[in-house]
Amino acid sequence: MAEAGPAGESPAEEAAAVIGATVPTGFEATAAAEVQEKLGSASRVSKDRGKIYFAVPARCLPQVHRLRSVDNLFVVVQEFKDYQFKESKEDALKDLEDLVKKLPWTDPLKVWELNNSLKKKKTKRKKHNQQSSASKEKLNDDGEEERTDQKDASEQEDCAQATEPASGQGTEETEETGAESQNGGDDTEQPEAKDELHGGSGGETKAGDGKKGEGDAKVLKFRVTCNRAGDKHSFTSNEAARDFGGAVQEHFQWKADMTNFDVEVLLNIHNNEVVVGIALTEESLHRRNITHFGPTTLRSTLAYGMLRLCDPQPTDIIVDPMCGTGAIPIEGAMEWPSCYHIAGDNNPQAVKRAANNICSLLKKNENKESSTSVGIPLDIIQWDICNLPLRTGSVDVIVTDMPFGKRIGSKKKNWDLYPACLMEMGRICTPGTGRAALLTQDKKCFAKALSRMGHIWRKSQTVWVNVGGLHAAVYLLKRTWERAEIRRSFW
């Protein structure tokens, strides 16, 4: 790395970096607001949905990795807002090849190196923590695999992810099909899946400044990932990745490797917008809280977006009445620890998974001086949403991911469940100030149920989201002043 400057910062740390981040589609504005709040930078939302761009000094990388609304991060090498592709395939691909040597790689590669050095620090610390906790008892007693060494972007004392490979377990409702893309948070909307020309890791990870022959440093391994969307291109993303990758290899004398790569070069093509970047994350940052997955585990980044829509205030009581594996309340408790979170589900297996996820998180953090070392403000209960053991008007915020009627429940059952949910949620929520963010793909049923509950809930916003390829909606509702019908004598 370069030498430290007068203020103790290396030139790389002082350099300005343009960061690209993939975010859950529909939550671009939420992510931009988070970046503004935590990093003081304005973001530009890409025309290509699900991405934002912002500039920060490279020394802010640790904070960038701690953002809660971003899935993958990359440093932008160059962006072309109106790239003119030649008509014939050969000419268009030749232009892409020629572009490689004209791109300003030096500063982005410094940012990538800095990011790597942060990763190494974190890996060292993680190993140390694992050693010191190795003798401690395992909390999980249900025979499920527990991923205690999962990559954790939520750690507060460092920024980048650990380098060990993660086990890609779990069938998440929010997960895209196929390999996860570094630059496609919800790439299910893209007409063509990503193609890759790849590389692998090992040895020195010094990129140099883009010139050939890096002295005694080991040859880097790389891959190019191309994401292409638009119907006017004469080439496929595979062809673009292949030819662009060939030129990268030639230019840097790096070695292409499909799976074990040090550098992942991203080529994002969306109609006439072209962005070349270098990945700063190895896997999506939404994999931060959950070790015990269920059939419809929600991304933590989407959970964050839903919670943030409700603008939680200190001391608010926040409830997820259909919590599944607990992605929403766990994210809530981590990010809004001064609120009190209550969650439940009628499925005992889901409740157990949620409880195990909390245990894993507590265990992972027990050696750290983080707020979770003293526990997290969250209780998980088995209950039926139609008959919640909570006092009337006692809850400030409700955030939940309702059964879509596909993997969980059925569309038929939703016709009874949804109105009953809205009714009971209306009862427990504080009139006048209470709010709810509800995710569903069964929009027709939801609209009908809401029209029947218009006296207690007023829709104030709809955010269209892509959940594992499904076109879903998050409805932000405000509780009216109207008294809700008290249907039972529980309290």
Ligand X SMILES: C[S@@+](CC[C@H](N)C(=O)[O-])C[C@H]1O[C@@H](n2cnc3c(N)ncnc32)[C@H](O)[C@@H]1O
Give min distance, CB of 491 to ligand X, in A: 18
At its nearest, how many Å lie between ligand X and the CB of residue 294?
5
CB closer to ligand X out of 245 and 305: 305
Please report how close the Cβ of residue 315 comes to ligand X at its closest, in angstroms.
24
Q: Which is nearer to ligand X, 219 or 386 (CB)?
A: 386
Least separation in angstroms between CB 469 and ligand X? 15
CB of 65 to ligand X, least distance (A): 23
Residue 363's CB: how many other CB atoms inside 10 A? Answer: 19
Q: Which is nearer to ligand X, 195 or 442 (CB)?
A: 442
**Nearest to ligand X of 255, 411 (CB atom):** 411
Q: Is the CB of 199 or the CB of 344 nearer to ligand X?
A: 344
Residues that bind ligand X (CB under 6 A): 294, 296-298, 322-325, 327-328, 345-347, 350, 384-386, 401, 403, 408-409
Shortest distance in whole angstroms from residue 286 CB to ligand X = 11
Query: Shortest approach of ligand X to residue 259 CB, angstroms?
Result: 29
Beta bridge partners of 380: 343
> Could you tell me the smallest distance in angstroms from the CB atom of residue 98 to ligand X?
46
What's the closest the beta carbon of residue 356 comes to ligand X, in angstroms? Answer: 12
| Of residues 31 and 328, the one with the C-beta less far from ligand X | 328
Nearer to ligand X, 95 or 384 (CB): 384
∠ CA 262-153-474, rounded to 5° = 115
**Residue whose CB is less far from ligand X, 328 or 380:** 328
Three-state DSSP string of the chain = CCCCCCCCCCHHHHCEEEEEEECCCCCHHHHHHHHHHHHCCCEEECCCCCEEEEEEEHHHHHHHHCCCCCCEEEEEEEEECCCCCCCCHHHHHHHHHHHHHHCCCHHHHHHHHHHHHHHHHHHHHHHHHHHHHCCCCCCCCCCCCCCCCCCCCCCCCCCCCCCCCCCCCCCECCCCCCCCCCCCCCHHHCCCCCEEECCCCCCCCCCCCCCCCCCCCCCCEEEEEEEEECCCCCCCHHHHHHHHHHHHHHHHCCEECCCCCCEEEEEEEECCEEEEEEECCCCCCCCCCCCCCCCCECCHHHHHHHHHHCCCCCCCEEEECCCCCCHHHHHHHHHCCCCEEEEEECCHHHHHHHHHHHHHHHHHHCCCCCHHHHCCCEEEEECCHHHCCCCCCCECEEEEECCCCCCCCCHHHHHHHHHHHHHHHHHHECCCCCEEEEEECCHHHHHHHHHHCCCCEEEEEEEEEEECCEEEEEEEEEECCCCCCCCCCCC
Nearest approach in angstroms of CB 422 to ligand X is 13
**Crossing angle for the helix pair 411-428 and 443-452, to the nearest 10 degrees:** 40
For ligand X, the closer of residues 262 and 401 by Cβ is 401
